[in-house]
Amino acid sequence: MSSTYGTLFKISTFGESHGAGIGVIIDGCPAGLTFDTDFIQHDLDRRKPGQSRITTQRREADEFEVLSGVFEGVTQGTPIALVIRNTDQRSKDYGHIAQQFRPSHADYTYQAKYGTRDYRGGGRSSARETAARVAAGAVAKLLLQGQGVHVQAYVSQVGKLKLEKSYADMDLAVAEENAVRCPDPETAEHMFALIDDTRKKGDSIGGVVDCVITGVPAGWGEPVFDKLHAELGKAMLSINAVKGFEYGSGFAGAEQYGSEHNDEFYTDETGRVRTRTNQSGGIQGGISNGETIYFRTAFKPVATIMQDQDSVDSDGNAVIVSGKGRHDPCVVPRAVPIVEAMAALVLADMWLRSRGSKV
């Protein structure tokens, strides 16, 4: 099982939803970075369960411990090991599905691949694993801050309810002022009501998280197979429940003529090469062009719902699976810091790789 991502800035996550804890080893973080524990904990707090009535009511503090790689508040250039203890497991909630395959979960595929599975909360396939990514992503963000790079994600859609405004027309910081993490307060209220109504029905609903990255200079990314947008897509699609990724004009670009879609170059007053439009989403030829990078990530409805569903057991017998446990009716509010974390990990790796591409 591959639990490692990155080339120079590399992470390996470990742990299960109902095990003793989860964690991450970060390899390749340069020495001398101020290790801001408050900043890292803040990002973990944004992802942790129990934030409001529209998120899972599992109660985890998600406080992290540093086991190695940091001395007197500064990274040492050696592997950084972080661990987050699990404290609120209710494994008995999952005893009924020990031999049953929950619809749209990884139960069957894990059993088919490994011949065994940890059914407690999904084990390794649980979204609880993403807390480790968020911790590592926060370290990557600290590294990127020194390069003037900022990563901001927000919820742009819940079900069929869409935020129609462009990221350029909103104050994205406002997203952190409501439980949905949508930067438009009025739309956020409607989204909250939709998620809450879905929760009361024992159902779940999907949504979309947009991400905007500023400050990336021209030249980050590798041509051909390690294109910057390809790595961002891989990173996003590695997140639980993600079903789609598009950057720049995305699928809408398929409806346009080249004369409409092309981003014309010009030189601004500082002598910097810019583009008049940004259909490319800040990336051309797999390499950043210095403009704002933006992309969208689509999340399916959470697979566990509080309704009976038809399925089969490990012997192939027809069964009725009853939804139990504590789950999000909509994953996107808590997915915002996860999207940011994975984007930051990609960019930190690409920054380190770009430093050796020219003299």
Q: How far apart are CA 61 and CA 41, in angstroms?
A: 10
What 3-state class would DSSP assign to 228? helix
Q: Tell me: is residue 326 an annotated ligand-binding position.
A: yes
30 is in an annotated binding site: no
Is 240 annotated as ligand-binding?
yes
End-to-end CA distance of the chain: 38
Q: Tell me the torsion sign for CA atoms 243, 331, 206, 291.
A: negative
How far is residue 118's CA from residue 113's CA, in Å, rounded to a whole number?
13
The reply, when asked if residue 300 is annotated as ligand binding, is yes
> Directed axis angle between helix 228-237 and helix 332-354, to 10°?
150
User: 200: annotated binding-site residue?
Assistant: no
Nearest to 341 by CA among 106, 51, 6, 71: 6
Whether residue 91 is annotated as binding a ligand: the answer is: no
301 is in an annotated binding site: yes
Q: How far apart are CA 7 and CA 319, in angstroms?
A: 44
- DSSP secondary-structure letter at 257? -
DSSP string covering 90-130: -GGGGGGGTTB--TTSSHHHHHHHHS----GGGGGGSGGGH
Beta strands 265-267 and 242-247: pairing type? unpaired
Query: Known binder of ligand: residue 124?
Result: yes
Does residue 297 contact residue 209 with C-beta atoms inside 8 Å? Answer: yes
133: annotated binding-site residue? no
Tell me the helix, strand and coil percentages in the chain, rounded to 5.
Answer: 35, 25, 45
Instruction: Say if residue 126 carries a ligand binding annotation.
Output: yes
335 a known binding residue? no
Q: H or E element: which one contains 231? A: helix 228-237
Phi/psi of residue 284, nearest 5 degrees:
-135, 130
47 is in an annotated binding site: yes
Task: Report whether 280 belongs to an annotated binding site.
Answer: no
Q: Which amino acid is at 6?
A: G
Instruction: Look at residues 336, 330, 333, 339 and name the one whose alpha carbon lies nearest to residue 301.
Output: 330
174 annotated as ligand-binding: no
Which residues are part of a known binding site for FMN? 124-126, 240-241, 285, 300-304, 326
Which residues are part of a known binding site? 47, 53, 124-126, 240-241, 285, 300-304, 326
Which residues are part of a known binding site for NADP(+)? 47, 53
